[in-house]
Structure 1
């Protein structure tokens, strides 16, 4: 391409931009730009170098390829492959090599180096990137005309104009912060579970990131539930509001070896008996199941929160699920059976006693019945 810089830095900047665009449209793998007007034109080489660099930076399209071309001492070129798809970088060393004398070359080289920087990072930092973040990294390397290469088994380096290198370094740092934040959220989620009462009266776990925000009382901008609904939060009264409704929040504190069921209240003792609210969905569900076979009036429904018995139940349920066909699972059913008040107290603390199987009634066959 033959161009005229008109001894004008702004014209040279525009020309450099147009050259890169033309190369991109022509799918060229490399381009070498001489120091326009730094010879017979008489312009200061550092001014020319800066103008060309600024023009290249402003070019909208990257040169796409998978190797980096550099100029050696003899003027020959070589290509170095990398494990990430990278662009061909512009051979800016040609600006320096085409200058008329050693002093001019040194000044232009110094001007270019002032505009550049490098940043090194480890393979672990690359591995922490998500697929989207890796795509963004490639895009930045391309669009900002940077060099990214592996210089040893435990070190990568990105090189180019300072602003571009800073953007890549910031991307890596943001990814590391995200990874640490996600680990913190996962750890907290195993210890504390924040729940929101859904529109159908069922408790729902909030997403891990919202769980973390609630635990840290960082709710100025509200929270978003698992369905994507946004809520403002009143932590003092454990309420959440949106434009159309108000609902309840609760915080469950798990034990080191026991995750509290989502419909339970927070536990403070191994055994707790909770009177259910007659307006709650849980109360209505239990009552409906009971009334399908019994016409008696329901006076009160209590939930038994026995941590030790719950552990046994979950272990037995998992065993049956593993043993049975996947379509059957544990084959669990909800059944009701009458017994004395004294027996109820024993069942709450020590479970059903299998020694009494068949002594009270055998309507459904021999099995574990209440006393």
Structure 2
């Protein structure tokens, strides 16, 4: 710890130490104080390392007394003696906590009001937590300072049993002294007018914002800590309500107008990060049920990758690109086409294996031979049964159009992911009526992306204006998709997909939705599968998960 502090503080602090100990008449002492150099603290107190818990207790007490004498408000300790000193973390925890309690009891400090014990070993943190739990409640004044230390450690490491409930959580905010206006005037009317104007100015500087989003229920303790940090930096109050009893989860922000808008932007960034992580987790989980990538270790055994690396390798294979991965905490450049990975320094090479787990998501029997490819488009022969079936669907509402071609999109990864999602919906919804064949018109520039990755919301459905939510839109009537959404290319050719869509259980959509709403009050995570423009007679279905639709046929027409 001493080396880390000195390295970060810079050479000036080391020189200052040397000057103190080499000064004439210097006598060895328990501690010396220097400036903080490049560190953000005011001072550094350098102490003689101890490994005996009673001596550590005396040392902590002496440092606290020293801080009080120098009118310091806060002090931060490492877990003294638990590193190279080899002292027992449990004994050190008891000693340090006892020193703090003794200092509060005997000295009744006026200046020192914040004591932090910084621990970065998760196992050791448990020992300090146990020690503080033992002392909790012994005396009112002791309890207040112990609670502060305990809550600091809890927020850093997210102890499950000490984690505060975030349903209706009001994040702690510093209280400010009120400003007092004394008004003097010749008459009561002038005083009233001045008072009214002051109130109007105060109100004008206040703002409130409420953010409603299903992903608020997925906020982690680290995300909540980010909200606390945000509240400390800005003049705002943040209230987090994860939603109970059928209520939608929300975050309420109020305070100075400029800070409320800054806070709102930052909060939405946090929620979007949570959304991306949740989508990535769901996608990785689905792919792990279809494909297992493995690497060979020295013994010759093949070891499976974690599900996120598994997803990265599979996506790299789809794009026919290389990807950087981690094996045993070392970075490797993986060539998925050649099934090998080479360490970044070029000294190691491991073999890769892709194991297909598609038994439960077999490819359709009428598909053509892929010849080892993941994606291929096959034109249907005009007059064939398959061609006629698609043509009938396309013209079922009297759409007058000249079909140029119908192509079957064969993407093995998309199909298998779609089938796995279909099975999950059947289990979740307890019925098999989850799938519909719907239409999606689009421009020529989106075709390659949709064929490779499916109906990603970043390029699918935006032209509709998101009137029912920010998802991918599919029409019941092909004529609707042909009107404006199937944009012609320079040759006048338009494009539309006949897609398989897992609409599942659906409800009414509305602008701004990024996920479907919860079904009821039993669980905030039990959501509808899609939303519609009209629940009585849907003409449009909107999905929010990219693997809920498969682009089965691409129809080119004029």
TM-score bracket for this pair, using the shorter chain length: 0.3 to 0.5
Question: TM-score, normalising length from structure 2?
Answer: 0.28
Question: TM-score, normalising length from structure 1?
Answer: 0.41
